[in-house]
Amino acid sequence: MTATEPEDFEDLLLMLKETRGFDFTGYKRSTLQRRIHRRMALLSVATFSEYRDYLELQPDEYNLLFDSMLINVTSFFRDPLAWQALREKVIPELVSGKSAKAPIRIWSAGCATGEEAYTLAIVLAEALGPEQFRERVKIYATDLDEEALQIARAGAYDLSALADVPERLRDIYFEPAGTKRAFRRDLRRQVIFGRNDLTRDAPISRVDLLTARNTLMYFNAETQANVIRRFHFALRYPGYLLLGKAEMLLNHSDRFVPVDLRKRLFRKASRAELQPSGTLPWAEMSSRETASSRIDNATLASGPVVQLAVDLSDKLRVANAAAEALFNLRPRDLGRPFQDLEVSYRPVELRSRIEQVRKELRPVELHDVEWQRPGDPDRTYYDVAIVPLFAVPGDLLGVGISFVDVTRYRRVRDELAHANTELERAYEELQSLNEELETTNEELQSTNEELETTNEELQSTNEELETMNEELQSTNDELQAINEELRGRTEELDQTNGFLGSVLRSLGSAVIVLNEDLKVRIWSPGAEDLWGLRPEEAESRELLALDIGLPVNEIAPLLRQVLSGQSADGGARPAALQLTAVNRRGKTVNLQTAASPMRTEEGGISGIILVIDQRPA
């Protein structure tokens, strides 16, 4: 990739967003580039800028490009074990947790051509019965690809597409429609299809079950985090989330609790589940101070990382091990006035914010606080949360301060140049600020859960590597086939060249083939024997410029006459000329020269075939 190609690629994505409304800026760059390169290769287009120009001239190419980029791989009851877990674990709890007439709302995100949405309808209709299904259930199925949504709305599929549907269910839920089978019309009205961009559009709210299988895998890490936050906002509690086999929620354990990790089935976490299950390495605190102990308990509940707590008299009461290491605190600092400590004003001024939290009883968040510690050449960035600590509602104990190191995420964001827009920040503030503030800094998983999650991530990575290996093997097979074809053509060409050389050697005459510029293309062995000039010395040089004893002034008019097609018989017979020349030994020889035009398939003249025979003296 050249130095300008990344910029050209981003310009191409921007054009797709502005002209067609498809925002791919949050998708993985490697995946997008691989799929766009496939289209470019088919069109013999070398660069992204050329492909952008081609799109402007050929609007029909947009549809082919989107079909390549938005791969709609789906089927009925895909991954049967996941559907079994849904039937056995989720649906019974979901139904039993609601009153008899309470509505059930489902969202199928990235539904493609609708197979998964109709599978959800079948599972719920089996659990509730058709009548209850019609009265209570709404399934919202969304996707970015409008053509795929048109297929989904029709709800008619070939028998081959229904192969994974059990025969009993196929007979109950699909009606004959010509050569296809269509989903039952009386149940079809409960499935609503619509276009939705998960990275920009508002999510479907108050849903009980959300399926987004193999959808997140196409987004980069930052966009995945935004989409997961929207999913968390969309779900009621308890709401369930079903992902694809290649997806995990390793960095979002503060929002979802695994129900079945192997099936990628999760549940929205409750506040009670967000409490830390173990004891953290807090600094020692005086057992005599009851208020201090209460602050300790409240700080534990607010979520560790780097944490401090200040009581109502502005004294430092809690500092966990991470805080001690980061700010160089010592046990003797506990109980000291907070304003006397360096951490109160570096890396950010905290005293005024603590006072603001006390007055307003609302959290204050500071993002991307920059800090360059003495002796450290690198800058670090932190998200700082200052929150009120309550024993019970209304009983303020003090203020907790949390520092979350976001340096890695800041660097990634700067490198990719994908900062959130003001509109996205405003949307997040309006739609999910409360949820984010409640759950930002809380630990969900114990050590065993973290180990199990890590193992699942490694397994997923291994499966992805196996898939990539299969793709590379397939590509290698294609290259081998192309190589075999080229080898065969090379052998044919060698045979042709050998045959042509044999013919030229057998003629005995001096045969010279010229192009339109009278430059030598073929110099036969007879010509080499007559004038002593090897083929590599003669070929690509102008015949009339060769100093070989050939009378140039006599032969030049003949050659130009043949090239112009002005021979007396229209070129039906070779133009002949008798010459006296000097051979390679310096002897005078009499030559019989015949010049014939070399014609193309269209009848034009592309060169001259010159045959020279030596006549007896």
Helical ranges in 22-177 per DSSP H: 29-43, 48-57, 61-69, 80-85, 91-96, 115-128, 130-136, 146-154, 167-173
Give the side-chain half-sphere CA count within 13 A for 346.
10
- The set of residues, in sequence order, having a beta carbon less than 8 Å from that of 410 and lying 6+ positions away, is 368, 381
Give the three-state DSSP class for 212: strand
Residue among 351, 421, 415, 361 nearest 388 (CA)? 361
Whether the CB-CB separation of 443 and 303 falls below 8 Å is answered with yes
Instruction: Centre a 10 Å sphere on the Cβ of residue 28 and count the other Cβ atoms it contains.
Output: 16
Whether the CB-CB separation of 555 and 538 falls below 8 Å is answered with no
Q: Which residues pair with 105 in a beta bridge?
A: 138
With b for 16 or more beta-carbon neighbours within 10 A and e for fewer, the 364-398 pattern comes to bebeeeebeeeeeeeebbbbbbbbbbeeeeeeebb
Which two three-digit tokens encode residue 182? 């269509």
Label residue 526 exposed, middle or buried (CB < 10 Å: 0-12, 13-18, 19+): buried
Which position has the token pair 């008019």? Answer: 557
Residue among 279, 576, 276, 595 nearest 442 (CA)? 276
pLDDT, residue 121, reads 95
> E strands, 372-410, where?
380-390, 396-405
Give the H or E element holding residue 495: helix 447-507
Helical ranges in 306-446 per DSSP H: 321-327, 351-360, 407-416, 422-439
Q: Report the distance separating Cα 9 and Cα 2, nearest Å.
A: 11
- The set of residues, in sequence order, having a beta carbon less than 8 Å from that of 389 and lying 6+ positions away, is 295, 298, 299, 302, 309, 396, 397, 398, 399, 400
Whether the CB-CB separation of 180 and 158 falls below 8 Å is answered with yes
Cα separation values, 529 from 187, 522, 523, 583, Å = 91, 14, 10, 9
Which two three-digit tokens encode residue 271? 């506040």
Q: Report the distance separating Cα 350 and Cα 369, nearest Å.
A: 12
Residue numbers in the chain where pLDDT is lower than 50: 3, 272, 274-290, 292-293, 296-303, 419, 568
Q: Report the distance separating Cα 583 and Cα 446, nearest Å.
A: 98
Which position has the token pair 């045969």? Answer: 511
pLDDT, residue 3, reads 45
Q: Which residues pair with 107 in a beta bridge?
A: 140, 210
Whether the CB-CB separation of 138 and 105 falls below 8 Å is answered with yes
- The set of residues, in sequence order, having a beta carbon less than 8 Å from that of 602 and lying 6+ positions away, is none
| Amino acid (1-letter code) at residue 586 | G
